[in-house]
Structure 1
């Protein structure tokens, strides 16, 4: 990940970066733009034990925002571990940075090193975009991500605060949250209570949301697809001669066997029709996949009626 995209650290000399000093812990405050909202206390205790046994292998990075007062740029978990160990001073590197640079570097450092929750990651992306006036495309390029990945994370910020908090607290999963994106605020609140109280799975949640919105149930769609696949496989197993074979060169001997040609012709035509239908369906699906990769939200419903494939495509006007 290239920090230069955000203009960080360009004016800092190597001598400044490598100089380690001792700073009193009571002169240090956490970073205001720390994206992590929940710290694993067991993890902090384990880190403290490691530091106690082996020492601090990497100094924390600070900036002096007021005389003799310092703000953490990178290393808040190490700072918390040192406080737990009741250290008086912390080995640190002092950097000269603006508020924007401090905030951006803190966000990037956490995105690189910490396993942030999906909501924390989305909030960090939004803050980086706002601080540095970046588009989704520019941010994705700077972070080494696809634009669709960043767009999908940012969509989580459309969830109401209680749902985001539930994801942060690991009471529900990111996939639970994504299932609620099409609901209004009241519906999200009510469905969150049901997920927690009834311990709904992701698929059960998706079905309940579909019922609220009057849509086909995802579980039923999945079962129809599975049944169609089983039917297709059973048909191929019971009629293996219908699978089209590789084309063969015509020989004089084969030309004199009209009966054999008459038997094969309808079977080959039937297989060709099946293949043509699947080819058309797969071509449409590839186009949909290409659109979603470029950041568009597209919902599809697929059904095999036996005689035809039915594919319903829904593209919300507000992306």
Structure 2
């Protein structure tokens, strides 16, 4: 989809383009438009071990930008792993591409395959728009994304560089950054220090930003909404107190009929009353986990976390070294 939109990556009848050749590693350089700025060293080491045990399953793709000098189009992680293994040459497919095509393909290839950080993804979208003179709508269509998704990512580029770097380094999350979008540069810098030093959660950050801007606190608004929902639920399906049963309505009196001795009732099993429907909020679960992490760190454990989110879910990776 994206390949046809940007007019590159089309197949060629010349079979030599797809021929795998051996190219010296010292003749290859990374792509200058590589969107990934932070490479996981442990991940590269694991990839190197896999390549060492099973071989390179897929050659890298390069282009010759000068005689006997090549630039990576796709496969920089594999390239780094081969360098770590001290290989002299790399299996590669050499493609003929212009600077424009090489830059665009490198960006698209990484957007489709790599788990880029939100800032890296935003920077890649911006470069693709500039290189190909695309609107947000055209870019979103070519990448198979909604326009609102692309627009929200691009908004992160309005953050000052220190905040963007903190997101890249996983010191704060994308949602921390989004909370600071309405602050000026000085306020963003000060808020970043508070988040990092005091380990503020996203909700705490949103509240602090609201205080700075004189706005209602998001946490209070959320509580009010939750209480309103609970009241509505109670009106629809009132719930009895645990262990209590509704009293039957008294029968109307009839003087003409003699009173009958009430029949002995068989003991009833207590009905388990269903609890009131709870208001589910994924952020509440996320904050509960973060509080547990803070308790662990306060107890002296070394814990590192990597947090990200998207339209469907929050992702939180927790690493606790076995040797403390």
Normalised by the shorter chain, which TM-score bucket?
0.7 to 0.9
- Match of 2:232? 232
Distance 1:228 1:20, change over 3 A: same
- Match of 2:89? 89
- Match of 2:213? 213
Contact 1:60 1:79 in 2 (8 A): yes
The Cα shift of 1:191 comes to: 0.3
Q: Distance in 2 between matches of 1:73 and 1:63?
A: 7
Secondary structure of the equivalent of 1:172?
coil
Secondary structure of the equivalent of 1:63?
strand
Contact 1:60 1:74 in 2 (8 A): yes
Q: Distance in 2 between matches of 1:76 and 1:228?
A: 53
Contact 1:104 1:131 in 2 (8 A): yes
Contact 2:104 2:131 in 1 (8 A): yes
Q: State TM-score, norm by structure 2.
A: 0.72
The Cα shift of 1:238 comes to: 4.3
The Cα shift of 1:7 comes to: 1.1
Alignment of 1:36-115 (within 5 A): 36-115=36-115
Q: Distance in 2 between matches of 1:210 and 1:201?
A: 14
Secondary structure of the equivalent of 1:210?
helix
Contact 2:61 2:75 in 1 (8 A): yes
* 1:78-107 deviations in Å (ceiling 9; x for gaps): 000000000000000000000010000000
The Cα shift of 1:228 comes to: 1.3
Secondary structure of the equivalent of 1:153?
helix
**Runs of 4+ that moved beyond 6 A:** none
The Cα shift of 1:60 comes to: 0.3
The Cα shift of 1:11 comes to: 7.1
Alignment of 1:280-319 (within 5 A): none
Q: Distance in 2 between matches of 1:49 and 1:194?
A: 40
- Match of 2:118? 118
Contact 1:137 1:147 in 2 (8 A): yes
* 1:219-261 deviations in Å (ceiling 9; x for gaps): 000111111122222233349xxxxxxxxxxxxxxxxxxxxxx
Contact 1:12 1:96 in 2 (8 A): no
1:142 aligns with 2:142: yes
* 1:154-188 deviations in Å (ceiling 9; x for gaps): 00000000000000000000000000000000000
Q: Distance in 1 between matches of 2:234 and 2:94?
A: 70
- Deviation larger for 7-16 or 47-56: 7-16
1:200 aligns with 2:200: yes
CA RMSD of aligned residues (A): 1.5
Q: Which runs of 5+ in 1 are unaligned?
A: 240-319
Distance 1:31 1:238, change over 3 A: closer
Q: Which runs of 5+ in 2 are unaligned?
A: 240-324
Q: State TM-score, norm by structure 1.
A: 0.73
1:29 aligns with 2:68: no
The Cα shift of 1:132 comes to: 0.4
In proportion to residue count, which structure has more helix? 1
Q: Distance in 1 between matches of 2:12 and 2:161?
A: 39
